Amino acid sequence: MASERWDPAAFRTRVDAVLHRYVAEEADRFAEVDPLLAPVAGQLEAAVADGKRLRAAFCYWGWRAGGQPDSDALVRAAVSMELVHAAAVVHDDLIDESPLRHGRPTAHVALHEAVRHRSRAGAAARSLAMLVGDLLMALAGRLFAESGLPAAYLVRARPLWAVMARELIAGECLEILCTETDPDTSASLKVIRYKTAKYTVEQPLLIGSALAGAGPRVREGCSAYGLPLGEAFQLRDDLLGLFGDPGRTGKAGADDVRGRRPTALLAETWRLAGEDERELLRGLLGRRDLDGEGLETVREVMRRHQAPDRVEAMIAARVEEAVGALRDLDVPAHATTALTALAHSAAVRLS
């Protein structure tokens, strides 16, 4: 992609070529240990089969915002962000007991067949999925280290990897600890910030800019742009999870309600609901056997209090804040143009 014009489709093709080849090679090496490992190796490849490749894009444009030219080695380093994401998704689906991702069975569901003979097949499948996620994270670190960038560049960014891992795991832990408690908007937004916003936008940008040797002002601008945009991204995900088309999202639409997860959508509904409505919600939230009628009842309460509209307003405000931060940032024009386009594509989408 030598041109300065941002072409998302061409970039995704470039990322996928590196990602799929790298994971396929690693899956083959893994399966060579023993034929029994073939289903697990298959899940390594399944974990990276789809995706928007936003994290790689943000890492790339952090690099370009730092004044560096296009680089194949940087793209390889950026692809490691997609492996971090794949690992997080496998673990997240396992924690949430989600059955679908991109319209296909999640890792712990798909691996059930490999251990169907076990007396506790479900637990064994979940253990295998956990290990798939662990291996993906290890592969992410290896690809980053072997990207081909000079060692001096990698040293600048390495401390950010520890920050990214700490904050991502802190967010996952917060979500677990806040699940099945009375919904609270500020707590939900904190979960969003640490579980998703930081590793989706802010940290990839910061890693890319650190690799580029960018100064403090650029790094501060990356955070000022990345944090609100990352929150907008997850707020959109929450809306799509309950009000989106499952045919487009590829996810089970009732997951957040059945898991009684701490989403801002639910928290805003709870904040505005009367005691009778809260009592109704208490009887529906967290039920694994919740049917379509019960799910629609929850949606009706949300609509009654305009909770979806309130979350839409949160998204719009955060996108405006992110784009405003770009205007104050002295980076090359092509980086500003690309990051503006990424802001809108991350927050305004159907899947």
Residue 3 in any domain: the answer is no
Residue 15 in any domain: the answer is yes
pLDDT at 1: 45
CA distances (Å), origin 217, targets 24, 32, 56, 321, 331: 39, 48, 22, 17, 10
Residue 214 in any domain: the answer is yes
pLDDT at 348: 86
Tokens describing residue 239: 């809306």
Residue range 281-305: mean pLDDT, rounded: 93
Q: How many CA atoms lie within 13 A of 339 on its CB side?
A: 37
Report the alpha-carbon distance of residue 227 to residue 220 in Å, rounded.
11
Task: Supply the CATH number for residue 121's domain.
Answer: 1.10.600.10
Confidence category of residue 246, pLDDT binned at 50, 70, 90 = confident
Residue range 8-22: mean pLDDT, rounded: 97
pTM of the model: 0.94
Report the alpha-carbon distance of residue 4 to residue 109 in Å, rounded.
43
CB atoms within 10 A of CB 37: 15
CB 68 within 8 A of CB 74: yes
pLDDT at 112: 96
Structural domain boundaries, residue 19: 8-347
Burial of residue 43, with CB atoms counted within 10 A of its CB: 0-12 exposed, 13-18 middle, 19 or more buried = buried
Residue range 55-62: mean pLDDT, rounded: 98
Residue 255 above 90 pLDDT?
A: no
Indicate the helix (H) or strand (E) that contains 104. strand 104-105
Residue 103 above 90 pLDDT?
A: no
Residue 2 in any domain: the answer is no
Report the alpha-carbon distance of residue 205 to residue 188 in Å, rounded.
24
- As a whole number, the mean pLDDT across the chain is 94
The pLDDT tens digits for 80-99 are 999 999 999 999 999 989 99
Confidence category of residue 240, pLDDT binned at 50, 70, 90 = very high
Which residues are within 8 A (CB) of 151 and not within 5 positions of it... i.e. 6 or more apart?
Answer: none
Residue 1 in any domain: the answer is no
Residue 294 above 90 pLDDT?
A: yes
The pLDDT tens digits for 329-347 are 889 999 999 999 999 999 8
Residue range 40-63: mean pLDDT, rounded: 97
Residue percentage of the chain with pLDDT more than 90: 86
| CA 304 to chain CA mean position, Å | 30
Maximum Cα–Cα distance across the chain:
62
Which residues are within 8 A (CB) of 34 and not within 5 positions of it... i.e. 6 or more apart?
Answer: none
Q: Please provide the DSSP assignment of 42-53 as one string.
A: HHHHHHTS----
pLDDT at 252: 65
Confidence category of residue 253, pLDDT binned at 50, 70, 90 = low
Residue percentage of the chain with pLDDT more than 70: 98
Residue 3 above 60 pLDDT?
A: no
pLDDT at 245: 85
Residue range 146-151: mean pLDDT, rounded: 98
Residue 97 in any domain: the answer is yes
pLDDT at 350: 80
Residue 8 above 70 pLDDT?
A: yes
Residue 171 above 80 pLDDT?
A: yes
| CA 99 to chain CA mean position, Å | 17
Residue 215 above 50 pLDDT?
A: yes
**R_g over Cα of the chain:** 21
Residue 17 in any domain: the answer is yes
Burial of residue 46, with CB atoms counted within 10 A of its CB: 0-12 exposed, 13-18 middle, 19 or more buried = buried
> Which residue type, as a one-letter code, is found at position 150?
P
Residue 47 in any domain: the answer is yes
Indicate the helix (H) or strand (E) that contains 245. none
Say how many domains are in the chain: 1
Backbone φ and ψ of 138, nearest 5°: -65, -40
CA distances (Å), origin 197, targets 138, 144, 253: 22, 21, 21
SS3 172: helix
